[in-house]
Amino acid sequence: MSVLGEVSGIARIEDAPLESLLDALRAYRQRQARFITASCLDRGDRFEILYLFDEDLRTVAVRTLLPKGAKLPSATGVYLCAFLVENELQDLFGIEVEGLHIDYSGKFLVTDTFDAPPLLKQTACELQLPKENPS
């Protein structure tokens, strides 16, 4: 499956291979770009992850492609505030983040009652109702 082309509202998307991802993020840090968040898309055999930054009200992004099963290097050494979204990636997509400063081990937003990472495309969602109505 192809990656996102132009994204309306994002002025520039810079592609960074996984091995040089942290270098790309450091370059943004040196330019004093404000880290906004990261956004992940399940692309079948891989994840497409966009790291979004603010530069004087313009949105710019670094994109990396992560094969499923591979580990994502943590951005928390560059932007500490990324620990929230990286814990969310672990919870909701099942991505293992390596070197995460504050690691909730996949239990940041979700609990043990979740069978599978909910934002994976193969994770079906069903309405769960109590088996018996106590009333």
Residue numbers at the binding site for other proteins (CB under 8 A)? 4-10, 32, 34-37, 39, 41, 52, 54, 57, 59, 79-81, 83-84, 92, 102, 107-111, 118-119, 125
The smaller minimum CB distance to other proteins, of residues 18 and 110, is found at 110
* Beta carbons of 90 and 79 less than 8 angstroms apart: no
The smaller minimum CB distance to other proteins, of residues 111 and 133, is found at 111
In whole angstroms, how close is the CB of 36 to other proteins at the nearest point? 7
The DSSP string of 57-77 is TEEEEEEEEEETTPEEEPSTT
Q: Which residues, at least 6 apart from 107, have a Cβ–Cβ distance to it below 8 Å? A: 91
The smaller minimum CB distance to other proteins, of residues 58 and 71, is found at 58
**Residue written as tokens 């609990």?**
111
Report the C-alpha gap between 96 and 103 in whole angstroms.
10
In whole angstroms, how close is the CB of 32 to other proteins at the nearest point? 7
In whole angstroms, how close is the CB of 10 to other proteins at the nearest point? 6
Report the C-alpha gap between 19 and 113 in whole angstroms.
34
In whole angstroms, how close is the CB of 99 to other proteins at the nearest point? 17
Secondary structure (3-state) at 81? helix
The smaller minimum CB distance to other proteins, of residues 39 and 70, is found at 39
